Amino acid sequence: MQVFEPGTEVRVRRMMPPGHVRTPAYLRGHVGRVERVLGPFGNPEQLAYGHTPDRLPLYRVRFRMADVWGDEGHRDDTLDAEIYAHWLEPL
Amino acid sequence: MTEPFDGKRWHDMGGAVAHPLMGPMPGDDHDFAIWEKRVDALVILSGLKGAFTVDGLRRVLEDMGEEAFETMTYYERWVASLNQNLLEAGTYSVAELAERMDAVRARGTTYGAASDAGV
Amino acid sequence: MPHDHHDHDHLSPSGHPYRADQDQGLTYWQVMEIAIRELMIEKGLVTAAEVQAQVDAMDARTPAQGAAVVARAWTDPAFRDRLLADGSAACAEMGFDVGPMKLIAVENTADTHNVVVCTLCSCYPRNLLGLPPDWYKSRAYRSRTVREPRKVLAEFGLTLPDDVTVRVHDSTADMRYLVVPARPAGTNGLDETALAALVTRDSMIGVGVAKAS
């Protein structure tokens, strides 16, 4: 799996699977920047169903609120979320 | 619901500021009853002992659906999820649970009486 | 009356009034809790003592622990640096085990304000702050904070100037967040204990600021 260095621009994948995931829907499809690299951590999508998890890098990704919501009111306000590697794709 | 379902699940609430069930920001805090604290303790211990994980807890809470979120208290939902996860893990059987719940009810009509008479 | 109503006029260690419980009619969910607990004990998964110890530990956790960490960060620049670099390790130095999750501390400054939410459930640094307040778990807080944080903060009595950047942290996975509020002006003469008393729970979630001395 590709490793993203801090500062790299990444896009959250636009998947909407009917199972337990920890990627908020409101961020899917949006572009942010890796703030720091965490982990590896067990994949919650396996843990939730009692399976032995793969260990995945977890990224803190920072989004501009203006990019996520389309408002330009407070241009510098940000949203940070932790997103597992398999939900991120390079630009 | 006139929009076709897009797959976004009910618990995934971020940004849904115009949701029809939106309520006010609750004000007063309260502490929890002893049975609620025990539910919390049993969930934490289940994780520490490897019976199931916090993601297992969340998965069942999510699958319980929006109506449960709106109509049950926080620890009512937690105890339901605790039970579902322990049944799946094989910690006890449905029959054992049924028998024990009947036995608990037979002990008395208050939590104190039914709980203190147990172990 | 099987028990005295001794609890009802008192506050718990976390500062909330106790809920009525032991004397009320037995509910379906209480029956389930008792049955599950007994079965878990009989099957050897847990002991009664472990359950009691967890409840005691929960009662002992209050925002005072987080406040002590913040006061240390205000008075000890090297500790502040360690806290921002590795929140779990810095808290462990003070004897606070933040549990299996990792702690990230984020600092409020003159130009940045941090606020924490969990949109998917209600993740909260419970080992440092105790159990979350009701509003933290509400639909209103969970859905609105990522979309209109300044409005939400204003409802908590915190109106931020336009030149302050808001950073919202959605606690989506294995991290837990502690906001280090800005140290109030005019507190140079205060020691760590006096400073800790200024650090409110809400200021460590980011919906408030530390009290003025």
Indicate which CATH number applies to the domain containing C152. Answer: 3.90.330.10
In a domain, B105, yes or no: yes
CATH number where B100 lies: 1.10.472.20
pLDDT for the residue C7: 40
- pLDDT tens profile B71-93: 999 999 999 999 999 999 999 99
In a domain, B54, yes or no: yes
Whether B14 and chain A come into contact, CB under 8 Å, resolves to: yes
- What does the H/E/C string look like for C118-136? CCCCCCCCHHHHCCCCHHH
- pLDDT tens profile C66-121: 999 999 999 999 999 999 999 999 999 999 988 777 999 999 999 999 999 999 99
In a domain, B5, yes or no: no
- For residue C48, what is the nearest residue in chain B, using CA coordinates? B119
- H-type alpha helices, B1-119: 34-48, 54-64, 66-71, 74-89, 94-105, 111-116
Q: Which residues of B touch C158 (CB under 8 A)?
A: none
In a domain, C175, yes or no: yes
Distance from CA of A27 to the nearest CA of B (A): 9
Pairing between strand C165-170 and A55-64?
unpaired
C-alpha span between C211 and C183 (Å, rounded): 9
Chain C neighbours among A 7-36 (CB < 8 Å)?
A: 22-24, 26
Decide if C118 is catalytic: yes
Residues C124, C50 share a domain: no
pLDDT for the residue A72: 77
Whether B31 and chain C come into contact, CB under 8 Å, resolves to: yes
Q: Which domain holds residue C6?
A: 1-60
In a domain, C210, yes or no: no
In a domain, C157, yes or no: yes
In a domain, B55, yes or no: yes
Question: pLDDT above 90 covers what percent of chain A?
Answer: 90
Decide if C123 is catalytic: yes
Domain assignments of chain A as residue spans, ordered by start: 34-82
Whether the CB-CB separation of C141 and C118 falls below 8 Å is answered with: no
Residues C85, C190 share a domain: yes
Residues C126, C21 share a domain: no
Residues C182, C167 share a domain: yes
pLDDT for the residue C6: 39
Query: Does the interface predicted TM-score (ipTM) exceed 0.95?
Result: yes
- pLDDT tens profile A28-65: 999 999 999 998 999 999 999 999 999 999 999 999 99
Q: Which residues of A touch B53 (CB under 8 A)?
A: 47-48
Q: Roughly how many angstroms between the first and final C-alpha of chain A, as a whole number?
A: 15
> Is residue C17's pLDDT more than 50?
no
pLDDT for the residue C211: 96
* C121 labelled ligand-binding: yes
- pLDDT tens profile C148-174: 999 999 999 999 999 999 999 999 999
Whether C24 and chain B come into contact, CB under 8 Å, resolves to: yes
Looking at the structure of chain B, the number of domains it has is: 1
Pairing between strand A9-12 and C102-107?
unpaired
In a domain, B12, yes or no: no
Q: Which one is catalytic: C12, C14, C88, C122?
A: C122
In a domain, C111, yes or no: yes
Closest CA to B19 of C89, C98, C101, C147: C147
Residues C142, C39 share a domain: no
C-alpha span between C149 and C170 (Å, rounded): 12
Chain B neighbours among C 74-93 (CB < 8 Å)?
A: none
Whether B7 and chain A come into contact, CB under 8 Å, resolves to: yes
| Other chains touching C, judged by 3 or more CB pairs under 8 Å | A, B
Mean model confidence pLDDT for chain C: 90
- H-type alpha helices, C76-207: 77-85, 87-93, 126-129, 139-144, 149-155, 192-196, 201-205
Question: pLDDT above 90 covers what percent of chain B?
Answer: 85
Q: Which domain holds residue B72?
A: 34-116
Closest CA to C108 of C185, C172, C152, C164: C164
Mean model confidence pLDDT for chain A: 95
In a domain, C83, yes or no: yes
